[in-house]
Amino acid sequence: MLCRTGNLLWVGIIAGLLGTGAALPAAAQMTAAAPRLQQADTAYRAGQAALAQRDLAGARADFEKVVKLAPQIEEGHSALGAILVSTGETRRGIVELEKALTQKPGDSVAQTNLALAYEQTGSYRKALPLFEKLDAEARSKAANSPTRTLSPYLLSAYARSLAATHQDRAAIMQMKRAAAAAPQNADLWDALGTLYAQQQEWPLAAAQFQHAIRLQNSLAVAHLHLGVVLGMQKELPQSIVELQRAIQLAPQEAAGYAELGNALVAAGHDADAIPVLQKALALNPSLPKTQYALAAALQRNGQEEAAIPLFKQLLKAEPDNAETLTNLGLALLQTNHAVDAIPLLQRAALTSPHDATAHQNLAAAYLQMNQMDDAARELRLCLKDNPDSPQMHYDLGLALKLKDDDADAIPEFKTAERLDPAASEYPFALGMLYLQDGRYQDAAGNLETALKLHPANADGWATLGTVYRNLNQPAKAIAALRQAIRLAPDEPAPHLTLATVLTEQGQTAEAIEQRKIGADLTRQGMNKQRAEIAINSGNALLQKGRVADALADFEQAIKDDPSSAAAHLGLATALERNGRTVEAAQERRKASSLNER
């Protein structure tokens, strides 16, 4: 969010009171019969003297005496009101200033302070008539010198009041006058840029922020605003540079980190954005948009467990936010908590009944829970609003296939293929379905179509080889299986199938070779699976403090799969906890070397 700039120079305004005379205007009419007025006059003089010394507390006490002794004298209310506003008691100050103007409507000092007080407290519609009156009077007094009108800080407050009441063009005009009146004031050019940005006039806004930076390169807020505007113009590298400069200049301001995190997310750098967004929330936890951005970045970065508590916290504040419901549900689904995900995704679908994605997500949760009928129902609801979506027809076909309803699944896959003939997954799904049903000719035709569209699909070539074998087309089977092996040489299944076809064709020597390769790869795959199980067990034992048992598991994992970097890394951790630091360092070096391969 773009911040407004501009300080209210209350002390400067109060100083105007010093030019109104050393005594109350009524003092000349005082007689010995008016001791209270004489006391009020003395207190007023004392207040002005304190004010000249910038002793606001003393001045306030003196002017309070004036108001108490002579409530009918306007100058006392005006002076006290200005002091109260300047010391933060704005609402009490407004009361005094309103009394002053009731008694003397033409008091320009009271008008000025009251206009600024109204603007400061958000009473913009009350402030505007006063600003208009002050501006008109200033212009009339300077008829022979048009540039001598309101002071820059009054014009900027006037502009903010206009902007707050949606008088945007008038606000820009007044802020231009303020900047022109004080051309070296970087804050005013930044404020002008902010008004342009609020109108989404990005190039004009950027120009003002750049000018502010030229005047004062250390103005953090101008770098922040320029970074945001450049981001809106999709100039992300330059946006990131400006936002980084903003946080260098103002390292304790959460807004800079929040906007830099947003820019990094927009540039596709979620991993870099995460610590920046975390810093923003550490400085200011009350930033729900930043919290959502962080949760979403964590989720996209595969850190769903870390995202879930953030989404839950956001949901407490907005229980019916469909986007948060959806993302929390998906995060739970991604972490295999489909039971918890389903109620959230149901709420999201009810909140946005015509949102196809909400129903698709709910269908995915039902599929994970093996609730095929519910999944199919949700997908059919999607198709009512999106009948020409190939993906939804495909998803419905998968749901029907999983519930063994091939008769209804096939038309859905065919419809998906008709709607998007360039996609390979739809004919591939049909080919697999026909293969399971023993319709080998139909399977071959669809698999051939899929592989023309996606020739790098090793599984597709292996499957087509099997289909050709079932169709008694050995030459085609051998060619398809060799292509599968070229694409995925470490997969055992194509080697074993090819060995079977070669044996059937009397090519015994090559068949034996392929069978041996397949058997070796199968054994390696089983060893890797055993190693993975041992690694998971070792990590769990480490968490429980059972270091000796963990050591045994990691050593077994390395025996099963010496090329596993995770096994060597786990063993290094266990060795460190066992006090064997030299051996641990060796294992870490092995893990690092394997990761670099």
Distances (CA, A) of 465 to 5, 35, 441, 493, 500: 71, 115, 13, 11, 11
d(CA 589, CA 572): 9
- Cβ pair 290, 253 in contact under 8 A: no
Domains detected in the chain: 1-121 (1.25.40.10), 304-530 (1.25.40.10), 531-597 (1.25.40.10)
Distances (CA, A) of 14 to 6, 11, 416: 18, 5, 76
Instruction: Look at residue 5 in the predicted model and tell me its pLDDT.
Output: 37
pTM exceeds 0.85, yes or no: no
Q: State residue 144 phi and psi, 5-degree precision.
A: -85, -5
Q: State residue 463 phi and psi, 5-degree precision.
A: -65, -40
- Residue linked to tokens 């003397």: 104
Q: How many helices (H) and strands (E) does the chain have?
A: 32, 0
- Cβ pair 262, 291 in contact under 8 A: no
b/e 99-119 (16+ beta carbons within 10 angstroms → b)? bbbebbeebebbbbbbbbbbb
Rg (Cα) of the chain, in Å, rounded? 38
d(CA 270, CA 275): 9
- Residue linked to tokens 């630091």: 581
Q: What is the DSSP letter of 3?
A: P
- Dig out the tokens for 290 from the structure: 């930043």
Instruction: Look at residue 282 in the predicted model and tell me its pLDDT.
Output: 97
- Dig out the tokens for 259 from the structure: 């906007």
| Greatest CA separation for the chain | 137
Q: What is the DSSP letter of 4?
A: P
Amino acid at site 260: L
| pLDDT tens by residue, the chain, 597 residues | 333 333 333 444 454 554 454 556 654 444 444 788 889 889 999 989 998 898 999 999 999 999 999 999 899 999 999 999 988 899 999 999 999 999 999 888 899 999 999 999 999 999 999 999 999 988 887 665 555 578 998 999 999 999 999 999 999 999 999 999 999 999 999 999 999 999 999 999 999 999 999 999 999 999 999 999 999 999 999 999 999 999 999 999 999 999 999 999 999 999 999 999 999 999 999 999 999 999 999 999 999 999 999 999 999 999 999 999 999 999 998 898 989 999 999 999 888 888 888 888 898 888 888 899 999 999 998 898 889 999 999 999 999 999 899 999 999 999 999 999 999 999 999 999 999 999 999 999 999 999 999 999 999 999 999 999 999 999 999 999 999 999 999 999 999 999 999 999 999 999 999 999 999 999 988 999 999 999 999 999 988 999 999 999 999 999 999 999 999 999 999 998 988 888 889 999 888 888 876
Give the residue from 585, 546, 587, 542 showing the smallest Cα distance to 569.
Answer: 587
For residue 319, count CB atoms less than 10 angstroms from its CB and return exposed for 0-12, middle for 13-18, buried for 19 or more.
exposed
Instruction: Look at residue 33 in the predicted model and tell me its pLDDT.
Output: 40
